[in-house]
Structure 1
Amino acid sequence: MVILRQTPALLVSDRVRRRALVMGFPGLALALVLMGCSARTGPSWKVFPLSRRSPHDGLAVVSQPDGFGLHLFLETDTSDPERCEPRWFPDAARLFNGNGTAPFSAGLAPRDEFFAVVRRKEVRAALQNELKALCAQRAPQARWQWTDPPTQASEVIPVLLPAYEGEDLLTDPAEEQQREKALLGES
């Protein structure tokens, strides 16, 4: 009883204090340990902008306990100058320290995790806000058009990149060596 009265910093309820007095010091220690174990163990589902290179081009989603989650890379499709819409990349980076002061990402997260995250209403709302702002930044004259993200592997549309032109390709090393020898006068 003397210990409880001497330490006012311990904010112990009357009920816990009475039980501790009945059970003695071991009871008090057990009560304090159990009160400290009541922390939430599930994910916080915190969603916040986390830029990569420019504002609005990344979104962090804390989908696991201890601040782990996904760092979604946001891109826009401005191939049509009249329209700006999202370009979906289901290969998100792994988010670390999402509940801390300096979140960062590295590596890749499984695609199934991306699909599960984009099914959540609050994540979609944040995606719409960030992508709309990204479109306004990249193509202010274009009309914003929302397209839903893929929620399963069969809905993923691979991004078609422009084909390489002949001048972009490397020459055959053997041919290049023959040209060098011809220029230097070696046979």
Structure 2
Amino acid sequence: MATWACAVAEDELAEPLPRRWAHSQGVAQCAERLSATMGGKAELLLSAAVLHDVGYAPRLAFTGFHPLDGARFLRDTHAADELLVRLVANHSFALLEAEERGLRETLEAEFPLLDDQRLVDALVYCDMTTTPDGAITSVDARLAEITGRYGSDSLVGRFIRRAAPEIFGAVGRVEAALAAQPR
């Protein structure tokens, strides 16, 4: 699954959005670093990591809300695994942004949240500790970068403010799990 996911993400992002592709590759590298802690979910996490922003691809941006556009593309065009599609649709607390956009009911109806908190947290961690250029960063720096790029009063800025406590919680849980791993 991960090889296919990487090829799909590269096809959709590398040429039209090279910086978004760099970010997606960095998020996937982070997922690889977590693979030992994920057990049988490692490949699913890696696939979701590389595909999480595929909905930004210009040819896929129908609603302008990348989690929804990406998930629909994966479901409708590729008949992708349901868990993968739901992870992409709901990555990094997308439901809160969907609410800001008036799309919460649509997102919830088409792509219900996953019950696997560890997997959801891992994807949040990977996304929120990776810069737009694919480098490792702190969650504080990442949230400041997003707010600076979009503006604190923008739709995305409002979403980030609302989601920040949840994002910090998810990152904290992953960091605690990593710290508890035998070295």
TM-score, normalised to structure 1, is: 0.24
The higher-RCO structure (CA 8 Å, 6+ apart) is 2
Identify, as 1 or 2, the structure richer in helix. Answer: 2
